[in-house]
């Protein structure tokens, strides 16, 4: 494989992989409570639970 092809391949892969990792790292860092309908509470609701039966 020629040096030019190797360089071009490395550039291409770095670009697409870099963009993917950058966007997903940003998403994971800035992840908040997802509120699709805009009406939910500021923090995720606590799942309902019942006290264990004795």
Partner 1 sequence: MAQPTAAPNPNEAVPAATAGGNPNEAWGSRIGLILAMAGNAVGLGNFLRFPGQAAQNGGGSFMIPYFIAFLLLGIPLMWIEWGIGRNGGRYRKGHIPGMFAAIWRHPAAKYLGVVGLVIPLVVLSYYTILMSWTLAFTWFSITGDYWGRTTQEAMSAYLTSYQLIGDDTTHSNWVPFLFYFISLGATIFVLSKGISGGIEKLAKFGMPILFLFAVILAVRVLMLGPGENGVSPIEGFQFIYSPDLSRLGDATVWLAAAGQIFFTLSVGMGTLQTYASYLSTKDDIALSGIATAATNETVEVVLGGSIAIPAAVAFFGVSGAMAVAQSGSFNIGFVSMPIVFQGIPGGQIFGAMWFALLFFAGITSSVAMATPIVAFFREEFGVRRETVAWTVGAVAFTFGILTIFWLQYGMLDEWDYWAGEFGLAVMAFIEVVLFMWIFKPENAWRSLHQGADIRIPTVFKFVMTYVTPLYLGVILVWWAITKAIPILTLEGNKSAGGDIAPGNEIYVHVARLLIVAIIVFFLLMIRMAWKRNGYDDRKGFAVVEDTPLGTPVKEGGAR
Q: Is 38 in the site for partner 1 (CB under 8 A)?
A: yes
**Helical segments of the chain, H only:** 3-29
Q: Is 4 in the site for partner 1 (CB under 8 A)?
A: yes
Q: Rounded to whole angstroms, how far apart are CA atoms 11 and 52?
A: 58
Cβ closest to partner 1, residue 27 vs residue 50: 27
* CA-to-CA separations, 21 to 8, 34, 35, in angstroms, rounded: 20, 21, 24
Site of interaction with partner 1 (CB under 8 A): 1-2, 4-6, 8-9, 12-13, 15-17, 19-20, 22-24, 26-27, 30-31, 33-40, 44
């Amino acid at each position: 494989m020629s040096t030019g092809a190797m360089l071009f391949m490395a550039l291409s892969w770095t670009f697409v992989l870099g963009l993917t990792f950058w966007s997903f790292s940003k998403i994971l860092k800035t992840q908040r409570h997802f509120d699709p309908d805009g009406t939910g509470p500021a923090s995720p609701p606590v799942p309902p639970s019942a006290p264990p039966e004795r």
